[in-house]
Amino acid sequence: MKFFIDTANLAQIKEAQDLGVLDGVTTNPSLMAKEGISGAENVKAHYKAICDIVDGDVSAEVIATEYEAMIKEGEELAAIDSKIVVKIPMIKDGVKALRYFSNKGIKTNCTLIFSAGQALMAAKAGATYVSPFIGRLDDVSTDGLALIESIRVIFDNYDFGTEILAASVRHPMHIIECAQIGADVMTGPLSAMEALLKHPLTDIGLAKFLEDHAKANG
Ligand code: G3P
């Protein structure tokens, strides 16, 4: 399973990259705003800075919601760097835009997926990734992981090449369960990735090893 970090924070992206487990980055307009990035040129420069840190795909979301405007904005984003994946919302014009970019060989990430039907539409339109938001489904008492399972079955039934990018990941169990189900990618915060490597018995065991070594060696 690929690990993407879901942030526009350069320090956190660098930290995840340095950990050696990072396969890409996802951003969205809220995450860009959180970093205080505004204005078309600043936004483009920030995406370029992210691309310069990571080795993998970097999702950059269009703000436009009308087909022609999405195409123009998406082409501008794709021109920033070959790592850019154009992130498109799951709306009717977005589906058309997915097909356009797919035909042009430009990678896409269809975002705001909350149902299997939406994922199927995005895959049919040639999306590179679909992003089901599992945390936000859990927030409204709906089983986000069940949606990942359902999309996995559908994509496998028909050998869709579209990758399932489990988004809105909130904690390490989301990551583990997504891996068990067979999500192709997960995107989440650095804290969720780092939580995977922690276990109290590891800390206790290491402290004992170091203590015994110190005793034996003075
Ligand atoms: O980037 C899309 C998605 O991962 C958002 O997550 O935590 O805002 O629900 P969250």
> How many CB atoms sit inside 10 A of residue 202's CB?
10
Closest Cα to atom 5 of ligand 1 = 168
Question: How many A from CA of 196 to the centre of ligand 1?
Answer: 19
The enclosing domain of 109 has a CATH number of 3.20.20.70
pTM for the structure as a whole: 0.96
Task: Please choose from 168, 169, 186, 191 the residue to mutate so as to test ligand 1's pocket, defined by most ligand atoms within 8 A of CB.
Answer: 168
pLDDT in tens, the chain (218 residues): 999 999 999 999 999 999 999 999 999 999 999 999 999 999 999 999 999 999 999 999 999 999 999 999 999 999 999 999 999 999 999 999 999 999 999 999 999 999 999 999 999 999 999 999 999 999 999 999 999 999 999 999 999 999 999 999 999 999 999 999 999 999 999 999 999 999 999 999 999 999 999 999 98
Number of domains in the chain: 1
Rounded to the nearest angstrom, the gap between the alpha carbon of residue 129 and the centroid of all alpha carbons in its chain is 9
- CA 5 – ligand 1 centroid, Å: 10
Domain assignment of residue 208, yes or no: no
Q: Is 122 among the domain residues? A: yes
Q: How remote is the CA of residue 172 from the centroid of ligand 1, in Å?
A: 15
Query: Which protein residue has the closest C-alpha to ligand 1 atom 8?
Result: 168
- Residue 105 within a domain: yes
Query: In this structure, is residue 211 part of a structural domain?
Result: no
In a domain, 216, yes or no: no
- Domain for residue 206, yes or no? no
Q: Whose CA is nearest to atom 10 of ligand 1?
A: 168
- Among this protein's residues, is 96 annotated catalytic? no
The pLDDT value given to residue 137:
98
The residue to mutate among 35, 136, 171, 174, having the most atoms of ligand 1 within 8 angstroms of its beta carbon, is 136
pLDDT of residue 134: 98
Let me know if 200 is exposed, middle or buried by CB neighbors in 10 A (0-12, 13-18, 19+).
exposed
Please tell me the distance between residue 212's alpha carbon and the centre of ligand 1 in angstroms: 45
Catalytic residue among 44, 83, 87, 107: 87
Domain range for 99 is 2-190
Q: What is the pLDDT of residue 218?
A: 83
205 in any annotated domain: no
Question: In this predicted structure, what is the pLDDT of residue 53?
Answer: 98
Is residue 41 in a domain?
Answer: yes
